[in-house]
Amino acid sequence: MRGISSGVYYRRIIAAGSGGSVIDCVFCRIIARQTAADIEYEDAHVMAFKDIYPKAPVHVLIVPKRHIASIAELTDDDAELIGRCFLVARRLGETKGFADKGYRVSVNTGPEGGQVVYHVHFHFTAGRQRGHGA
């Protein structure tokens, strides 16, 4: 498996049980504490951790704990969970002192949207921006 540093991320089937399979997803592994991350926030539904390659002075990824590949895969059942992610963004804005100064919450979707990791995540960026986003 090539590292993400190559700019390419592969999902890998690691187990095939009785009629199902488990996708090896880097963010699911962080949520399961199988891969280390600098966790900023966690509750029963959402986790937030520092981006390993920050594009701004503050760069935190907010992820639903349930695996959803991308915005393109969302269903009505995901509405509350996605709303919770935005509430965590608000909380991060407050706890990190950016509630008034402001911050960006962004989502890359699909190949032309720049998505590399196929587990829905919200980029929370704040401070001096370094070429992140339009």
Task: Give the interface with ligand AMP as residue ranges (CB under 6 A).
Answer: 4, 26, 35, 37, 51-53, 61, 108, 114-117
Name the residue nearer to ligand AMP (CB basis): 21 or 35.
Answer: 35
Half-sphere exposure of 78 (CA within 13 A, CB side): 18
Residue 96: how many other CB atoms lie within 10 Å: 16
Among 50, 67, 96, 104, binds Zn ion (CB under 5 A): 67
Q: Active-site residue 119, yes or no? A: no
Name the residue nearer to ligand AMP (CB basis): 82 or 117.
Answer: 117
Residue 6: how many other CB atoms lie within 10 Å: 8
Half-sphere exposure of 65 (CA within 13 A, CB side): 13
User: Which residues in this chain contact Zn ion in the complex, by CB under 5 A?
Assistant: 25, 27-28, 67, 119
Residues forming the active site: 121
